[in-house]
Amino acid sequence: MKVGFRVPSLKKRIAARTSWKRYARQNLGLKAPKGYGWITNPKKALYNRVYYRTTKGCSVALIVMLTALGLFFISILRGWNALC
Structure confidence by residue, pLDDT tens digits, 11-42: 888 888 888 877 877 777 777 777 888 888 89
C-beta separation of 51 from 1 below 8 A: yes
pLDDT at 14: 87
User: CB neighbours (10 Å) of residue 15?
Assistant: 11
pLDDT at 61: 66
pLDDT at 43: 93
Residues 36, 57: Cα–Cα separation, whole Å:
24
Structure confidence by residue, pLDDT tens digits, 56-72: 766 666 677 777 777 77
pTM over 0.85: no
